[in-house]
Amino acid sequence: MTDRRRRIDIIADDDFVQAVADLPLDQLRERRLLCDGLDTELSYYRRLLHGRMDLLAFELRRRAGEETRSLIEALPEILAGSESRDTASWTGRAIPVSIPDLPDDGKRAIDRVLGDDFLAHLPDLDSEELERIQTLLTDVESEISDQRRIVYDRYELLQGELTRRYRDGLADIDELLRS
pLDDT values of the chain reduced to their tens digit, one per residue, 179 residues: 445 789 999 999 999 999 999 999 999 999 999 999 999 999 999 999 999 999 999 999 999 999 999 989 999 998 887 544 444 444 555 555 566 666 666 568 888 888 888 888 888 899 899 999 999 999 999 999 999 999 999 999 999 999 999 888 887 776 665 55
In this structure, the dihedral spanned by the alpha carbons of residues 74, 79, 85 and 89, taken in order and rounded to 10 degrees, is -140
Residue 104: per-residue pLDDT: 60
Residue 121: per-residue pLDDT: 87
Q: How far apart are CA 83 and CA 85, in angstroms?
A: 6
For residue 72, what are the domain limits? 24-87+110-178
Residue 86: per-residue pLDDT: 46
Write the DSSP symbol of residue 125: S
What's the number of domains the chain is made of? Answer: 1
Residue 149: per-residue pLDDT: 97
Residue 160: per-residue pLDDT: 96
Residue 111: per-residue pLDDT: 83
Residue 137: per-residue pLDDT: 95
In this structure, the dihedral spanned by the alpha carbons of residues 29, 34, 38 and 40, taken in order and rounded to 10 degrees, is 40
- State the pTM of this model: 0.78
Inter-residue contact 45 to 144 (CB < 8 Å): yes
Q: Which of 162, 174, 169 is nearest to 20 (CA)?
A: 162
Whether residue 2 lies inside any domain: the answer is no
In single-letter form, the type of residue at position 31 comes to R
Whether residue 67 lies inside any domain: the answer is yes
